[in-house]
Structure 1
Amino acid sequence: MPKQYVPNAFLKVEDSQLYAIFAWSQRTAEIIQSKSWLTILEIFIHEHSLENAYQIFQKIKLEPIAQKVIQEIKKYEQLLENALVFLADGSLTIFGKGFRSFIEKEMQYELGSLSRETYQVLPQLFSQYQLKDDLESIENIEDFRKLVEHLENLGLLSPATGSIDWGDLKKTVPICQAFGLTRGTPVDRYYLSKFLKEIQPQIGGNILEIGGTPKDKDFYQINQGASYQILNLEAGPGVDIVGDAHDVSVIKPESFDSVIIFNVLEHCYAPWIVVENIFTWLKPGGKCFAMVPSAIRIHATPVDYWRPLPDAFVWMYKNFSQHKLYVYGNPTTVIASYHGIAVEELTSEELDAYHPDYPVATCIVAEK
């Protein structure tokens, strides 16, 4: 089935510049660069087929703005400073109070009918802003297709409603129930390896790992000359300190230069207390190296309490003198992590792409 599209955008004017913003997102707004972007986005509100959209584009791209569009848009021009323009399947709506209008259902002005009739609402609404006039440069369907794909990659166009190909993902059980281990390397292991490459030179001195195993030192490629001790709830081979990380008394203050705690804090009933204790156990200038999964299936070993997000992680480490956050993930790897799709089934581009609203692994280096 040929691919079909629908717009997925909020447009906003700020400092005399037109942007596409991403709703309730940490992602940076995208500058609307060209008149062609507006025309294409408006066409796909109503016509989802690429071929049909191209025919409409060719027909209207050089037509003068209809007088009735000019007259109607005059009613809304004074709103643009505070408004959002919402583009969706069959809908072009001005939210006069921005997102407040979206939530409160006030000052909403629907221009979908006029848009369907003319495909000229967006060009006229934003005619006073300096956009590149590139309409004539799109000479054939391949030029058009490339621009459509670019807008899709930016997140401004999406598969049309009802046209998503779920394929093997439309399952109510995971593809691999063991995080991806039956297929290859779990996604979170990939991000842990990336984090380790960043931090390995900083780990040294007297090292404490919380919740680790003796083999971890080799996996982490820690300096072989460093002192390395393991704190765990239960006694076992290679465990040096048996105790609860929530109990500050299990270790003397200012005992360690480095503390490693990977994939443990989510299993702590009060992870902020554990972080406070780590602060106490570190020497001045010592560092904590931590990772938590932000998107992974529940794994009760023995219990699973939390999925700390980046803001929560920063808050937990607020008493440290400085910190650096490392966040990894995007919508594709969130799905892969939950479904147990392995690293080997994804490209490096898919794994390394970053979207701030879709963390899979959240890591931090914090210095006392």
Structure 2
Amino acid sequence: MTNSLRVIGRRLLPIHVRRALVRWTCWPPVGWVRLGSLRRLRPISSQWGSERGQPIDRYYIERFLERQAGDIHGHVLEIGTDSYTRQFGGCQVHRSEVLHVAEARPPVTILGDLTRAEHIASNIFDCVILTQTLQAIYDLPAAISTVHRILKPGGVVLVTVPGISKVSRYDMDRWGYYWSFTSCSLRRLFEALFPPAAIQLEAHGNVLAATAFLYGLASQELHQRELDTVDPDYEVLITLRARKPQPPL
């Protein structure tokens, strides 16, 4: 019935009347939305909101790592820093390694590129923490292959990647910022080497969280419910846990 009325309306009503009806039948009506502090061409913070509090993507990252803290044990590799190894692994970690592509100063223990890391032995890490790294690597299959190779059988990689995000100018100007991800693309990349049953993937965010993140608001400026509500059409951050299978007996 509704579709029939729309067809009749399109045939009989003048175009200016149809346009007026559209404006007044959607809610809020066209022209009534007030953008307030968000009507601006520059973000409120260009540093992800870090000077205002916790960046919104870090809220999702740290909640993910907190839930997976039991995986961060034994011999652990993290990229760029050991901060999450220490924060979430603590005394469960017996040996901590940090890989960096360009800088060899502490806490970095391995200088290298994940796409060309033949100098890293195979099957040695219980856990690899790979947060906000893959977007800065062009050859993703090669990097994921390295991660798979250096994990022990039964070892776990913990991954976070950006979905809806501003570009990291720091990364772009140094080694590149190549990708934003969806849950579909990230799953396909890891299923090339890890069994689908060994992969756990979640997308986080919604239109409000995405908007706040792009403007550089901090997580403290939203309510927890606003951060935790998931709308699959607005993936701010994607998290993935993948376990390297044990060899068959």
Same fold (TM over 0.5): yes
Separation of aligned partners in 1, 2:100 and 2:37: 40
Q: Residue type of the partner of 2:7? A: E
Separation of aligned partners in 1, 2:208 and 2:73: 35
Which residue of structure 2 lines up, in the alignment, with residue 219 of structure 1?
Answer: 87
Which residue of structure 2 lines up, in the alignment, with residue 231 of structure 1?
Answer: 99
Offset from partner CA, 1:111-147 (integer Å, 9 cap, x none): 4469x9xxxxxxxxxxxxxxxxxxxxxxxxxxxxxxx
Deviation at 1:226, TM superposition (A): 2.5
Q: Residue type of the partner of 1:215? A: S
| 3-state SS of paired residue (2:34) | coil
Which residue of structure 2 lines up, in the alignment, with residue 305 of structure 1?
Answer: 178
Kindly report which structure 2 residues correspond to 1:144-183, keeping only aligned pairs within 5 A, or say none. Answer: 158-183=27-52
Does residue 333 of structure 1 match 2:209?
Answer: yes
Which residue of structure 1 lines up, in the alignment, with residue 7 of structure 2?
Answer: 110
Separation of aligned partners in 1, 2:115 and 2:3: 52
Deviation at 1:224, TM superposition (A): 4.3
Which residue of structure 2 lines up, in the alignment, with residue 273 of structure 1?
Answer: 142
Question: Pick from 109, 114, 118: which aligns with 1:245?
Answer: 114
Kindly report which structure 2 residues correspond to 1:2-81, keeping only aligned pairs within 5 A, or say none. Answer: none
Separation of aligned partners in 2, 1:292 and 1:222: 24
Offset from partner CA, 1:179-235 (integer Å, 9 cap, x none): 1122211101111121012110122221111x2313332233444442211111121
- CA distance 1:158–1:212, change in 2 (3 Å): farther
Which residue of structure 1 lines up, in the alignment, with residue 161 of structure 2?
Answer: 292
Percentage of matched positions with identical amino acids: 30
- CA distance 1:207–1:111, change in 2 (3 Å): farther
Q: Residue type of the partner of 1:343? A: S
Report which structure shows greater RCO (CA 8 Å, sep ≥6). 2
| 3-state SS of paired residue (2:77) | strand
Q: Residue type of the partner of 1:307? A: S
Q: Residue type of the partner of 1:281? A: I
Does residue 354 of structure 1 match 2:230?
Answer: yes
- CA distance 1:158–1:287, change in 2 (3 Å): farther
Separation of aligned partners in 2, 1:160 and 1:276: 52
Q: Residue type of the partner of 1:320? A: F
Offset from partner CA, 1:242-284 (integer Å, 9 cap, x none): 1111114131111211111001111111223211111111111
Q: Indicate conservation of the 8 Å contact 2:75/2:127, yes or no.
A: yes
Separation of aligned partners in 1, 2:67 and 2:8: 51
Question: Pick from 48, 52, 55: which aligns with 1:186?
Answer: 55
Q: Indicate conservation of the 8 Å contact 2:131/2:161, yes or no.
A: yes
TM-score (structure 1 length as normaliser): 0.57
Offset from partner CA, 1:18-43 (integer Å, 9 cap, x none): xxxxxxxxxxxxxxxxxxxxxxxxxx
| 3-state SS of paired residue (2:142) | helix
Which residue of structure 1 lines up, in the alignment, with residue 20 of structure 2?
Answer: none
Q: Indicate conservation of the 8 Å contact 1:174/1:339, yes or no.
A: yes
Deviation at 1:347, TM superposition (A): 0.7
Runs (4+) off by over 4 Å = none
Deviation at 1:164, TM superposition (A): 1.3
Which residue of structure 2 lines up, in the alignment, with residue 256 of structure 1?
Answer: 125
Separation of aligned partners in 2, 1:295 and 1:223: 35
Separation of aligned partners in 2, 1:279 and 1:230: 17
Question: Pick from 180, 197, 218: which aligns with 1:342?
Answer: 218
The structure whose Rg is larger is 1
| 3-state SS of paired residue (1:286) | strand
Which segment is superposed worse, 190-199 or 247-256?
A: 247-256
Q: Indicate conservation of the 8 Å contact 2:85/2:93, yes or no.
A: no
Q: Which runs of 5+ in 1 are unaligned?
A: 1-72, 74-91, 95-108, 117-156
Which residue of structure 1 lines up, in the alignment, with residue 194 of structure 2?
Answer: 320
Does residue 197 of structure 1 match 2:70?
Answer: no
Q: RMSD value over aligned CA atoms?
A: 2.1
Q: Indicate conservation of the 8 Å contact 1:267/1:305, yes or no.
A: yes
Which residue of structure 2 lines up, in the alignment, with residue 19 of structure 1?
Answer: none
